[in-house]
Amino acid sequence: MVQTTSSPATKEAKKSSMPVLAGGIAIGIALSAAFFAGHQFWPTPSGLPTPSAHAPIAQSQAPTGAFLSMAENTIADMASKASESVVNIDISKNIQVPTVGFNSPFQFFFGNGMEQNGAPRKFQQHGSGSGVVIRQDGYILTNNHVVGQADEIKVTLNDKREFQGKVVGRDSFTDLALVKIDATGLPIAQLGTSKNLRPGDWAIAIGSPLGLDHSVTMGIISALGRSLSDINSVDFIQTDAAINPGNSGGPLLNIRGEVIGLNTAIRGDGQNIGFAIPIDIAKEVVDQLVKGGTIKRPYVGIYMQDLNEKIAHAIGVPANTKGVLIAKVEPEGPAARGGLTAGDVIEKVDGKPVLTSKEVQKQIRSHKVDETVDFLVLRNGALTAATVKLGDYPQRDQVEH
């Protein structure tokens, strides 16, 4: 799959004794008043007078304490119910490093004597994240970077029961993984939809930040369609909730307690800037992972940058050039085999003009693995045609079958 360059996002989901793995996220949610039709407003409680439109402003009354208590209980009850399907995931990985020694004190200072000495040193790397039960027979959805290449996965349910988990499917492109435990009759999450979300909608995140399991945070949806190419080409939900390492893989909920996203990443250079994978994308991935364990995705093997006047000047093309710059080509990838090179400006894909990297990605995703795609690129002042046979997106951390 094509990738684009952008400002870095920090994956952080797993709290670890080692540096935090890039890409964890939490998303929070705020809330107020009563919640009707999924939105916030202040309806007049039964039995309370409606202030007159002509009454002085100073005489208008705020909602009563009983009404506020009702709203707070609504959120608490919803979070309590949703928490039943949220799990804590602890992982451990065995690490070996060579033991290095010196033959004499002189070699320590002057070198030329360092060599491996004895058996390699062994230690365990630990981390933690979150997950969501999606099937009663023990299927749990989480982030791929949470489980990584773990040698052991321990899943702790809301009722404190512990199980050994096994990765049965993963998709590094969307950073999603499916973990299976030997259990039945589990409470499952209520999956909603991410199609009708709007900036400003309430959102609630549940997870295990810093190992504090089943923590609930609140905020709003800050934006939609965010692209973080260093995490993968997914249009993320952005939220302003407070999140920390360990939240990755946990659910982002709407005001009705439905899962609308899976917490995945935060911006390390900012505050209250988090990202979640839309649940509709996760649903598609899960269906395929349950069936086959992996997902085939068309792959070109290029890194792209949207063209502007500054970049056009830097690469020596006219300022009014329209297209997408190929910043890097993966060696021996489909694009390289098809004749595309770094510095090419993509003007058309399959005969259709493209102005942004997202438009190129859309054209690529309309094809299947092993199909061909026609590119028209600007190279050294001349238009050049290239045909690329699409490969299969390389899966990092493949599941062994």
- Indicate the domain borders of the chain: 8-35+65-94+128-295, 298-392
Is the pLDDT at 66 greater than 70? The verdict is no
In degrees and rounded to multiples of 5, residue 147 shows phi and psi of -90, -30
Q: In whole angstroms, give the CA distance from residue 246 to residue 240.
A: 17
Is 201 assigned a catalytic role? no
Q: Residue with structure tokens 């069936």?
A: 291
Mean pLDDT of 86-99: 83
- Is residue 248 flagged as an active site residue? yes
Q: CATH topology for 298-392?
A: Pdz3 Domain (2.30.42)
Please compute, for residue 231, the number of CA atoms within 13 A of its CA located in the half-sphere on the CB side: 33
Is the pLDDT score of 133 beyond 60? Answer: yes
- State the average pLDDT for the chain: 76
CB 131 within 8 A of CB 179: yes
Beta carbons within 10 angstroms of residue 98's beta carbon: 11
Which 3 state secondary structure label does DSSP give 23? strand
pLDDT at position 19 is 32
CATH 3.40.50.720 fits 8-35+65-94+128-295, yes or no: no
Is 386 buried (19+), middle (13-18) or exposed (0-12) by CB count in 10 A? Answer: middle
Q: Which of 83, 128, 130, 145 is catalytic?
A: 145
Q: Do 10 and 245 form a contact (C-beta atoms < 8 A)?
A: no
pLDDT at 51 over 80: no
Which of 194, 222, 248, 357 is an active site residue?
248
The one catalytic residue among 90, 171, 175, 213:
175
Higher-pLDDT residue of 59, 263: 263
Hey, which residues does 110 pair with through a beta bridge? none
Proportion of the chain above pLDDT 90, given as a percent: 23
Active site residue 39: no
- CA 205 to centroid of chain Cα atoms: 14
Token pair recorded at residue 83 = 């928490």
Beta-carbon contacts of residue 87 (< 8 Å; ≥ 6 apart): 130, 131, 132, 133, 140, 155, 156, 157, 158
Q: How crowded is residue 117: how many other Cβ atoms within 10 Å of its Cβ? A: 11
Q: Which residues of 303-320 are buried (b: 16+ CB within 10 A; e: fewer)?
A: bbbbbeeebbeeeebeee
At 100 the pLDDT is 58
Q: What would the mean pLDDT of 222-248 be, rounded to a whole number?
A: 76
Range 24-45 average pLDDT: 32
What pTM was computed for the model? 0.64
